[in-house]
């Protein structure tokens, strides 16, 4: 293997970030689980192709020994668009899985079926076919996939714009919206760079730019994986569905029942303290209350005037303040106390304390200590 250059290091880091993000997103269990699986599939495909590019460029011996690996970057090309669009569709609407969704993946499956006959050729035969340019997927499949992804990009943008006016204006849903907007912008940028690289490579009459080539496309894909990973891991609440922004519209319980449910909520919070569970979901809370998640969601939205994530984080902030003020936790660090209070993210902890306590965790702990010393 040759010495790995700076571009390859960026691609390597981007692919690793993408793999980690896809695993994390796939394992999230909440109301948005089905949508998150499409996002995990999308990021995983991008990361797999980045690794394929890295091995092709840096580990050429592997490709010459196993030339059929050259197919790997092209096989998933027709899956990007459907995974991208179906993620946005599941985020914006509580649709159930159907045959119509599966149809989106038929072109990709057909492409894999048509390309599978190459696997029956020997390594030298396939290598000769590559050297002579007798591959059906080059360049035709690239332009077909670019066209398909462009269609899905337009469909995704129209879908998001259609539901934007109906999205609740509370901060957490604004964060989901910003994440989706970033997701679309990053993918549209990657698509445009890839499109120009592909077109300019086929038509020499187009202006040729030194840095606007396939390398910049790989960097864009890598950078998008890094940005999504940082944004998503720092704000896990962005993985909730937009259609949950007004969940009470689907709850049919009366006001009296809602009052009794509110009393039950107070009882559960006092006796069970479910907010101490880091990965608590609204389904978990509803189970403890022996009610339906839709009813609990409506209760929190109408009676507490916040969404589920904000409500739980407020409780965790109050628990942090209580623990930090007591003598039994003085030997622990600020972050350790936060984890005791139910937080599982440093970023979420700091932003929540700043938002709900009006100060930073360090300042709050210092004020508590100074008060204790004065006493």
Give me the domain span that covers residue 156: 6-241
Q: Tell me, yes or no, whether 91 and 214 share the same domain.
A: yes
User: Of the segments 30-39, 216-225, 239-248, 268-277, which one has the largest average pLDDT value?
Assistant: 268-277
The CA-based angle 9-13-16, given to 5 degrees, is: 140
Q: Tell me, yes or no, whether 326 and 182 share the same domain.
A: no
Confidence (pLDDT) at 247: 46
Q: Taking the CA of residue 217 as centre, how many other CA atoms within 13 Å lie in the half-sphere pointing to its CB? A: 18
Structural domain contains residue 102: yes
Q: What residues contact residue 143 under an 8 Å CB cut-off, 6+ apart? A: 198
Q: Is the pLDDT of residue 307 over 80?
A: no
Domain count along the chain: 2
Q: Is the pLDDT of residue 267 over 50?
A: yes
Q: Tell me, yes or no, whether 266 and 180 share the same domain.
A: no
Structural domain contains residue 1: no
Query: Rounded to whole angstroms, how far apart are CA atoms 266 and 289?
Result: 10
The pTM for the full model equals 0.58
- Tell me the angle at which helices 214-234 and 6-27 cross, rounded to the nearest 10 degrees: 40
Confidence (pLDDT) at 264: 93
- For 14-35, how does the pLDDT look when each residue is reduced to its tens digit (9 = 90+)? 778 778 878 877 776 655 667 7
Q: Tell me, yes or no, whether 300 and 236 share the same domain.
A: no
pLDDT, the chain, mean? 76
Structural domain contains residue 94: yes
Q: What is the CATH number of the domain that holds 223?
A: 1.20.1070.10
Instruction: Give the end of a domain, one of 187, 214, 241.
Output: 241
Q: Is the pLDDT of residue 59 over 70?
A: no
Structural domain contains residue 294: yes
- For 231-263, how does the pLDDT look when each residue is reduced to its tens digit (9 = 90+)? 666 666 666 666 555 544 455 677 788 889 999
Instruction: Give the end of a domain, one of 241, 268, 298.
Output: 241
Q: Tell me, yes or no, whether 202 and 110 share the same domain.
A: yes
């Amino acid at each position: 293997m040759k010495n790995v250059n700076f571009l390859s290091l960026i691609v390597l880091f981007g692919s690793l970030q993408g793999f980690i993000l896809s695993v994390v997103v796939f394992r999230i269990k909440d109301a948005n689980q089905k949508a998150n699986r499409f996002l995990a599939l999308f990021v995983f495909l991008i990361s797999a192709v980045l690794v394929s590019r890295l091995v092709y460029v840096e580990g050429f011996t592997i490709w010459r020994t196993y030339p059929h690996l050259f197919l790997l970057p092209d096989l998933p090309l027709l899956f990007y668009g459907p995974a991208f669009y179906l993620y946005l569709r599941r985020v914006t609407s509580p649709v159930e899985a159907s045959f119509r969704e599966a149809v989106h993946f038929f072109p990709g499956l057909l492409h894999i079926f048509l390309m599978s006959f190459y696997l029956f050729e020997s390594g030298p035969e396939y290598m000769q076919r590559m050297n002579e340019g007798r591959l059906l997927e080059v360049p035709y499949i690239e332009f077909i996939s670019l066209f398909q992804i462009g269609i899905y990009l337009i469909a995704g943008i129209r879908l998001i714009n259609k539901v934007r006016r109906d999205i609740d204006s509370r901060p957490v849903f604004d964060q989901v919206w910003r994440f989706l907007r970033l997701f679309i912008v990053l993918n549209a940028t990657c698509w445009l760079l890839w499109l120009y690289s592909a077109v300019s490579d086929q038509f020499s009459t187009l202006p040729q730019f030194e840095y606007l080539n396939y390398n910049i496309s790989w960097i864009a894909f890598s950078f998008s994986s890094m940005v999504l990973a940082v944004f998503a891991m720092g704000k896990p609440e962005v993985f909730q569905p937009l259609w949950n922004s007004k969940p009470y519209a689907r709850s049919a319980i009366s006001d009296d029942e809602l009052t009794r449910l509110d009393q039950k909520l107070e009882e559960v919070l006092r006796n069970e303290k479910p907010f101490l569970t880091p990965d608590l979901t609204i389904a978990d809370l509803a189970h403890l209350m022996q009610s339906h998640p839709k009813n609990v969601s409506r209760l929190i939205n109408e009676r507490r005037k916040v969404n589920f994530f904000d409500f739980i984080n407020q409780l965790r902030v109050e628990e942090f303040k209580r623990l930090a003020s007591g003598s039994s936790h003085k030997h622990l660090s600020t972050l350790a106390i936060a984890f005791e209070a139910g937080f599982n993210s440093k970023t979420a902890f700091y932003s929540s304390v700043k938002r709900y306590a009006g100060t930073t965790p360090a300042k709050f702990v210092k004020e508590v200590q100074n008060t204790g010393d004065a006493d």
